[in-house]
Amino acid sequence: MAANAKSFFLGTRIVHGLGAVAGLPGHVKALGGTKAFLCTDKGLTGAGVTERVSGILTAGGVPHVVFDDVPEDPGVATVGTGVELFHAEKCDLMIGMGGGSAMCAGKGIALVAANGGTLTDYEGFNKASKPPFPVIAIPTTAGSGTEVSKVNILTDEARNFKMSFLDERTFPQIALLDGELMEKLPAWPALVAGIDALAHALDAVWSVGATQISDSLAITAAATIFEVLPKAALTGDLAAKQTMLEASSIANIATGTSLPGLAHVLSQPLGRYHMAHGLATGIMLPYTMEFNLPVASHKLAPIARLLGESGSDRELAESILGRLWDMMDEVGLPTSLDPAVVKEEDLPVLVEQCTKVVNYRLNLRFASPADLTALYLKALGKE
């Protein structure tokens, strides 16, 4: 490929619409699966979602095993346990269902089950020698976008660090986007997921890897999320939930194309406090936007124009920042780090870990270690 050439690749077929999950057995069979591994969490089991999807598989003649032991912050241990069961049950296809935790765990299990070793062997870019077992991803929150992503984030407990493994072969073959599965999702996880989706869209806009394609996707997704997130999270409106779910996937396709900027860099080290990824990213998002205003106003202004506003690029970018603060306040999302949890003396470690994140240098405005420290201090209310 020429040095100045760009590329766009999406390895996932997206099937979307209310009721789409009913077609799951046919998708399993089309991918050649003879026994499926349904990877999910206790929350979905308790809400009856696991039973519903398991029943669809059974009615469709698909043998399967349910693994619902995925915690909120899964890592090497969860993947190792899942791989053992995957092999013991002679499974050959993965269904990852839930938020980013369950879907990433499922993708990790599919990768390690196919290649052997342990999850840490595959940290970084394209470390696996074989493709993973086929994956069908079913998001039940509108946020992580893992269902359309080659980027996977799981915790290495030994380092207390959320590591990334990226490989185009880890795109799920199919993503089923069915807003009906979000019907019983409580408001808080819906809000945390939603702000994560918005962060994907905005981090894509101010990434140095942004392209016309990624910008078109990210700008549209961001405007849609600003409009629909409160309704999707705080009411039972299924149409709003479906719209939010689709916007979340679009946002992740954008950031998967450009690779994310600074909000994700700042949030990743916060995983050491067992803080949900979406929450950490959401807290750091307005501070990141403010940092990027001097160089990214022209990238943010089109979002405001889609929302019906007018003015100069700088005025519109500042308007989007104000809208972000207002929306987070309206729905009750926190906009600061808890100094009782994130100690000021921890900042050198956090900043050092930021500089080791694979996308550290992808932000349109480069953030030096001093800048990173200042951003954390702002989020702690100390600057």
- 10-23 pLDDT, tens digit per residue, is 999 999 999 999 99
Q: Residue type at 69?
A: D
- Which region holds residue 279: left if phi is over 0, alpha if psi is between -120 and 50, else beta? alpha
Q: Is residue 8 part of a domain?
A: no
Domain assignment present for 202: yes
Q: Could you tell me if residue 371 is inside a domain?
A: yes
The end-to-end CA distance of the chain, in Å, is 45
Neighbours of 176 (CB within 10 A): 25
Query: What pLDDT is stored for residue 3 in this prediction?
Result: 60
Alpha helices in the chain (DSSP H): 24-30, 42-46, 49-59, 76-88, 100-115, 187-205, 212-234, 238-258, 262-267, 277-306, 313-331, 347-354, 369-379
pLDDT tens digit sequence for 112-155:
999 999 999 999 889 999 999 999 999 999 998 999 999 888 98
User: Do 227 and 341 share a structural domain?
Assistant: yes
Q: Render pLDDT for 290-346 as a digit per residue (tens, 0 to 9).
A: 999 999 999 999 999 999 999 999 999 999 999 999 999 999 999 999 999 999 999
Residue 283 lies in a domain: yes
Split at pLDDT 50, 70, 90, the class of 73 is confident
Domain end, chosen from 131, 147, 181, is at 181
Structural domain total, the chain: 2
pLDDT band at residue 225, thresholds of 50, 70 and 90? very high
What pLDDT sits at residue 357?
87
Smallest CA-to-CA distance from 94 within 117, 118, 73, 70 is with 70
- End residue of a domain, out of 140, 163, 181: 181
pLDDT tens for 231-253 read: 999 999 999 999 999 999 999 99
The answer to whether residue 250 sits within a structural domain is: yes
Among 181, 203, 234, residue at a domain's last position: 181
Same domain assignment for residues 323 and 297: yes
Q: Are residues 248 and 174 in the same domain?
A: no
Tell me the pLDDT band of 2, cut-offs 50, 70 and 90.
low
Least confident of 18-32, 34-48, 102-116, 154-168: 154-168
pTM across the whole model: 0.94
Does residue 321 lie in a domain region? yes
Q: What is the mean pLDDT of residues 143-168?
A: 88
Please give the structure tokens belonging to residue 374.
């200042």
- Full domain range(s) for residue 355: 187-379
272: pLDDT strictly greater than 90: no
In a domain, 234, yes or no: yes
Tell me, yes or no, whether 367 lies in a domain: yes
> Which CATH number covers residue 326?
1.20.1090.10
Q: Is the pLDDT of residue 166 over 90?
A: no
32: Cβ contacts below 8 Å, ≥ 6 apart: 92, 93, 134
Q: How far apart are CA 281 and CA 261, in angstroms?
A: 11
Residue 1 in this model has a pLDDT that exceeds 60:
no
> Which of helix, strand or coil describes residue 142?
coil
Q: Do 273 and 358 belong to one domain? A: yes
What's 110's domain CATH number?
3.40.50.1970
Indicate whether 120 and 236 sit together in one domain: no
Residue 80 amino acid letter? G
Chain segment 188-214, per-residue pLDDT in tens: 999 999 999 999 999 999 999 999 999
